[in-house]
Amino acid sequence: MVVRRSAVAAARQINLNQKKLKREAEQVAKLDLWCTEHDGDGNGEFDRDELRTLLNALHPQQPVEDSMLDELLERATGVYTSSLTLRGDKNGRVTKKALFKTVSQYDSYIKDQKRLDALFDRFDTDRSGQLDTAELLEMMRASCSDDEAMRKQVGEGDVAFVLEHCDTDGDKKIARDEVLPMLAIWRELVEDIKERHVSSGNLLGADGKQPGAKASKSSSISCALL
């Protein structure tokens, strides 16, 4: 029985590795194409105008706004970790290495904007135009309602993390225009922890925790990555 389980786990790991290699190859091909078509000076980096041209070519039905370019460039050129936050330069350059992530963030913005506007209105219960910590926690849980295990894991640690990285004016609240970048960052955390659990074989149980893990009052998705 143990041998059979080991064989199944090994086969699953091989399959995951193959999918990862395929995904990475597809990303490289896209990056090369984007650089060929939109990196005007051919230096391997995208300035503000080049990034605008690329995003508008990918989403011609919704031209990118200046405020969104500011956010994307600051995110791509800054440092955002659990221990250090250095805001980037809205007039900086996005490296080829960071470009795919930046484009993916904008793709998420476009895809989710209407749904997130509705979510914001739903959870802004006091109609203040901002989400306080309690409202933000409920919104974050609702945004992953299709994954019950992850929804149960969302806690105060996650709220503190996204506030630290996305609360631009430091008022401990999230305004409507801060919601999209906030959820983009938080989703990266969720996807990262999912990938780590799968690749290590520590799949989440039905309760949203690793098998054998003890419950913790302060547990959260963000804490699991620190």
Long-range contacts of 15-24 (CB under 8 A, 24+ apart): 16/198, 16/199
User: Domain range holding 71?
Assistant: 1-109
Task: Name residue 34's amino acid.
Answer: W
For residue 6, pLDDT beyond 60: yes
* Residue in the structure block whose two tokens are 């995904």: 23
Tokens at 149, concatenated: 């295990």
Whether residue 118 is contained in a domain is answered as no
Which pLDDT band holds residue 125 (cuts at 50, 70, 90)? very high
Do 37 and 65 belong to one domain?
yes
Do 83 and 134 belong to one domain?
no
Do 98 and 136 belong to one domain?
no
Whether residue 116 is contained in a domain is answered as no
Whether residue 117 is contained in a domain is answered as no
Which pLDDT band holds residue 215 (cuts at 50, 70, 90)? very low
Do 99 and 1 belong to one domain?
yes
Least confident of 73-82, 160-169, 203-212: 203-212
Residue where one domain finishes, among candidates 80, 109, 138: 109
Do 104 and 132 belong to one domain?
no
Overall average pLDDT of the 88-111 stretch: 90
What percentage of the chain has pLDDT greater than the value 90? Answer: 31
pLDDT 10s digits, 18-71: 888 998 899 899 999 999 999 999 999 999 999 999 999 999 988 998 988 998
What percentage of the chain has pLDDT greater than the value 70? Answer: 77
Whether residue 157 is contained in a domain is answered as yes
- Residue 97: CATH number of its domain: 1.10.238
CB 88 within 8 A of CB 78: yes
Whether residue 132 is contained in a domain is answered as yes
Which pLDDT band holds residue 216 (cuts at 50, 70, 90)? very low
Tokens at 187, concatenated: 């989703």
Overall average pLDDT of the 168-173 stretch: 82
Whether residue 35 is contained in a domain is answered as yes
Overall average pLDDT of the 152-162 stretch: 83
Residue where one domain finishes, among candidates 109, 142, 173: 109
Task: Name residue 23's amino acid.
Answer: R
Do 2 and 98 belong to one domain?
yes
Provide the number of structural domains found in the chain. Answer: 2
Whether residue 1 is contained in a domain is answered as yes
Tokens at 181, concatenated: 């970048």
Do 131 and 105 belong to one domain?
no
Q: Please name which of 41, 39, 44 lies closest in space to residue 54, comparing C-alpha atoms.
A: 39
Whether residue 140 is contained in a domain is answered as yes
> Which pTM value belongs to this model?
0.57
Task: Name residue 9's amino acid.
Answer: A
Residue 46: CB partners within 8 Å, gap ≥ 6? 38, 39, 54, 93, 94, 99
